[in-house]
């Protein structure tokens, strides 16, 4: 039996979608193939790497990718947009079985001190992890 492919999309593929890809791979790689992409590829934010490492997930092998890499080239069972901008601007992917929207605030947009920004990245990481676990429970 083949695994369902899941594509997580955000604006820059630098934080939220990268986190979701890593958590899905960590918790359900037997059932799902996890991918992520962005409307633009902005590179993975250093705080994304840091907060994921804090929970034991090394994402140094992941890369920031534009969704054009996947459009029309892979069939996805699930497409999950993780921000409003991606939801509003994501092109139509043919043959997607289920499309979901998770409205998660961009931790990069938080412009306070470095410590407060890091705290926002941690909060976002925890929110993404909760949503991924709920997704797995609903779709496994």
Catalytic residue annotation: 10, 83, 90
Tokens at 3, concatenated: 């695994």
Residue among 23, 12, 128, 8 at smallest CA distance from 76: 8
In the chain, the DSSP E strands lie at: 4-10, 32-38, 78-81, 98-101
Check the CA dihedral 127-132-133-134 and report its sign.
positive
| Interior angle at CA 60, CA 70 and CA 39, nearest 5 | 30
């Amino acid at each position: 039996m083949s695994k369902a492919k899941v594509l997580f999309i955000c604006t820059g593929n630098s934080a939220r979608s990268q986190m979701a890809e890593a958590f899905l791979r960590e918790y359900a790689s037997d059932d799902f193939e996890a991918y992520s992409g962005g409307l633009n590829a902005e590179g993975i934010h250093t705080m994304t790497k840091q907060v994921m490492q804090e929970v034991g997930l090394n994402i140094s092998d992941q890369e920031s990718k534009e969704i054009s890499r996947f459009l029309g080239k892979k069939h996805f069972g699930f497409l999950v947009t993780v921000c409003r901008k991606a939801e509003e601007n994501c092109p139509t992917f043919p043959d997607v079985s289920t499309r979901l929207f998770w409205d998660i605030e961009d931790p990069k947009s938080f412009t306070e001190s470095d410590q407060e920004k890091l705290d926002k990245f941690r909060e976002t990481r925890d929110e993404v992890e909760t949503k991924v676990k709920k997704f797995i429970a609903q779709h496994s």
